[in-house]
Chain A
Amino acid sequence: MSELRFNELRGEQVAYAIHRQDRTFLPDRAHCPLDATRPGGPPTEIPLASFEIVVFDNRFPAFEAPAGAAEVVVYTDDHDASLGALPLDRVEALMWVWRHRYEELGAREDVEYVYIFENRGVEVGVTLHHPHGQIYGYPFLPPVPALELAADRRLGGCAPCVLLARERADGRRLLFENDAVAAYVPEAARWPYEAHLAMRAHRPSLADCDPGELRLLAAAILQLVRGFDALFDRPLPYVMAVHQAPTGDAPRAGGHLHIEFYPPLRTAEKLKYLAGSEQGAGTFIGDVLPEEAAAELREAVRRAA
């Protein structure tokens, strides 16, 4: 069982999950726990010979009942695939899986915020290479979505709606858009090639999207991730963060479905580290102007098409 302690100086929760210290760490190819269980092969987390998408309780949960949840979402039984390499139909199915989990976990008494994410690449701490994401059901509203609600109050309405309108009016940081989703580098991006996908219409969560919007969201994810990989002609590490409306009892309004990508590279070989200013003062120091990053990403998306 994890333990939460409140850090008074930061005004935030810190979760201690000491059992995770022993979690599986970069196993060799033959012992991937997210592979299907092949006939005659070693058992894995998934006792099936093949599968499309599976979700299961994390063996090493940061949060678990009766105070939250931690789940693993395996995108495919192809160990060597990646999110960007999946066909559109599979990513569309993944949108429905995310929606299923958002609705079911969000309905739980002990879950205040459903957070879907993916860590890709050892640079961001991935411990299993098999293409997968995770879902945390936080038993409290975490700081980042709380800040987004504060931005709503500051801007006098839905902050992502306001910011998207600004980006579309400006145009310099727009990457692409389809009928439901716009991709852009935010004006004050914290990471060198940070990019956001935002629903063009106000949609608090995946549960508010119609099937056509979910398919267009899947298409936009593929377009951006494939562009990321074309940027430096290598698989680009990133953290993918799906932000939706909180599900807890407290802030019943607020939230706008958008997906934030934080690639940690500032060049093909150099990492952007979170160092003194970022960690100790909370101020990111940028190495690339968002307008220039957007121009590079637009070209990369074009090459990947």
Chain B
Amino acid sequence: MHTSPFRQVGPGLFRSAPGPAVALAEPASGRAQKPSTLPLYPAVMDGKREPAVEPGGSETSRGSAGPGGGAEASPPPSESFGPLAVTRLRKDDGRWLLVFARAGEAEP
């Protein structure tokens, strides 16, 4: 009998089953981990926003879609990331546009 290492997670969509653990060096603290502590912004799916998820929210509520990310009703117009200022704009068709500029330089 054929058995796929992938489990179906939706119509036509599969997700890889968990693989064996790999023992390596300690992950550094800055590595991306879930749940995110990053600010999350509303996702746009079929013209609707997903339910809001607070940054640092629960394991089951984390994550969302688009460069807009996940949750807060009113995303701040700009945020800092390293030496960059990040501005999130919504395009007319609902897609997100992130504008990165050196902090202190002209923003849109």
Contacts and interface: CB of A to CB of B under 8 A. Distances in A.
Contacts of A276: none
Given A51-B108, A204-B27, A250-B18, A96 B96 contact: no
A247 interface: yes
Contact of B91 (A52, A56, A158, A254): A56
A4 B98 contact: no
Contacts of A6: 4, 6, 14
A245 B28 CA distance: 11
Contacts of A247: 32, 34
Interface in B10-63: 10, 12-25, 27-36, 38, 40, 43, 45, 62-63
A165 interface: no
Interface of B is mostly: loop
A110 B25 CA distance: 26
A54 B100 CA distance: 6
B23 to A, nearest CB: 7
A35 interface: no
Interface residues of B, number: 59
A163 B68 CA distance: 38
A22 interface: no
Given A59-B95, A100-B81, A140 B30 contact: no
Contact of A107 (B16, B38, B101): B38
A13 interface: yes
Interface string A1-29: 00111101001010000000000000000
A245 B31 contact: yes
Nearest to B14: A4
A141 interface: yes
Interface string A194-237: 00000000111101110100100000000000000000000000
Given A100-B84, A108-B36, 8 more contacts: A48-B99, A100-B98, A100-B100, A107-B32, A140-B16, A207-B28, A214-B82, A254-B24
Interface of B: 2, 4-6, 9-10, 12-25, 27-36, 38, 40, 43, 45, 62-67, 69-70, 81-84, 86, 89, 91, 95-102, 105, 108
28 contacts: A6-B4, A6-B6, A52-B101, A53-B99, A54-B97, A55-B100, A56-B95, A57-B95, A65-B66, A66-B10, A67-B13, A96-B83, A96-B84, A100-B82, A100-B84, A101-B67, A107-B36, A108-B70, A109-B63, A152-B22, A153-B22, A208-B27, A208-B30, A208-B31, A245-B31, A248-B16, A251-B19, A252-B27
